[in-house]
Amino acid sequence: MITKVEPGTRARLADIDPAGKGHYEGKDDPRVAADLARYLARLVELQERLMAEGKQSLLVILQALDAAGKDGVLKKVAGPLDSRGVFAWSYKAPVGDEATHDYLWRVHQRTPRKGEIAFFNRSHYEEVLVVRVFDFVPRERWHKRYEHIRGFEQMLVDEGTKVVKLYLHISKEEQRARLQERLDIPEKNWKFDPSDLKTRARWHDFQAAYEDAFAETSTESAPWYIVPADRKWARDLAVAKLLVETLEAMNPQFPKPSYDPKTITIDP
């Protein structure tokens, strides 16, 4: 279901099905619930090993247009993980002290420590997306940021942080349905932001901006993955599977104790 953007290539979002479901029949396919449960259980196990080892970390970057399901992924996939070692950060427009520093300053502070997993709900990529589409900074300024970002992410990788970048690919039709649902259901009104319609009006500009970002910053060390997001169940399943594969490749190990457990007697 997932499309990996190979370094040096250009992904065209119009050619990738946002309703992809892989080999599954549909939401009611019994393999869906079984596979998701298996992936989540494996994630919990691998996270425990990552925490215990304390030598590596994982940064998961979630980018998407509005209503594609970043919050849903955090709830469904990150939710079952041990809260002591997983953190989620949501990035909005910089304010206060954030706005007086360079654009990577606030991001770098929230990268995961050894043994941790961090999820970014939006990220430093907004600085080559929103600022570009709405002309918040001139082209000569935001265009240089591709190089900054490549260097920043390579530094994280060199220092022991695996970087996984996910774009949740939603269709314009499905986005409209989800935004309308937020208006129609009173309990979901709080999720609707009128400014989302300004972003939606620039749909094609954002598609082009994302395609450029993928082409410029998908590297061997920190690749981009495009995840079909029209079907929520398929989206969550694909993300869980990818994170399991990522952590298995990292292969964290429980540390050997500095003592012989067989020599320890606990008083009754």
Distance CA 89, CA 110 (A): 8
In this prediction, residues 92-104 reach a mean pLDDT of: 95
Range in 107-111, 158-162, 191-195, 249-253 the model is least confident about: 191-195
CA-based end-to-end distance of the chain:
55
In this prediction, residues 25-52 reach a mean pLDDT of: 97
Q: Report the share of the chain in percent with pLDDT over 70.
A: 100
Q: Supply the pTM of this predicted model.
A: 0.96
Strand duo 3-5 + 117-121: pairing: unpaired
Query: In the 3-class helix/strand/coil scheme, how is the chain assigned residue by residue?
Result: CCEEECCCCCCCHHHCCCCCCCCCCCCCCHHHHHHHHHHHHHHHHHHHHHHHHCCCEEEEEEEECCCCCHHHHHHHHHCCCCCCCEEEEECCCCCHHHHHCCCCHHHHCCCCCCCCEEEEECCHHHHHCHHHHCCCCCHHHHCCHHHHHHHHHHHHHHCCEEEEEEEEECCHHHHHHHHHHHHHCHHHHHHCCCCHHHHHHCHHHHHHHHHHHHHHHCCCCCCEEEEECCCHHHHHHHHHHHHHHHHHHHCCCCCCCCCCHHHCCCCC
pLDDT tens by residue, 105-122: 999 999 999 999 999 999
pLDDT of residue 237: 97
Helix axes 30-53, 232-250, angle to 10 degrees: 30
pLDDT of residue 1: 85
Binned at pLDDT 50, 70 and 90, residue 127 comes out as very high
Distance CA 37, CA 49 (A): 19
Backbone angles phi, psi at 81, to 5 degrees: -75, 160
Q: Minimal CA–CA distance to 112: which of 121, 120, 104, 123?
A: 120
Domains of the chain: 3-252 (3.40.50.300)
Q: Could you give the strand order of the β-sheet that contains 224-228, starting from the edge strand earlier in sequence?
A: 3-5, 224-228, 161-169, 57-64, 117-121, 86-90
Helix axes 145-158, 203-217, angle to 10 degrees: 50
pLDDT of residue 140: 97
| Mean pLDDT (the chain, rounded) | 97
pLDDT tens by residue, 210-264: 999 999 999 999 999 999 999 999 999 999 999 999 999 999 999 999 998 889 9
Please report how many Cα atoms fall inside a 13 Å half-sphere around the Cα of residue 13, on the Cβ side: 28
Distance CA 21, CA 36 (A): 13
Question: 185 is written with which tokens?
Answer: 């259901």
Is residue 201 scored above 90 in pLDDT?
yes
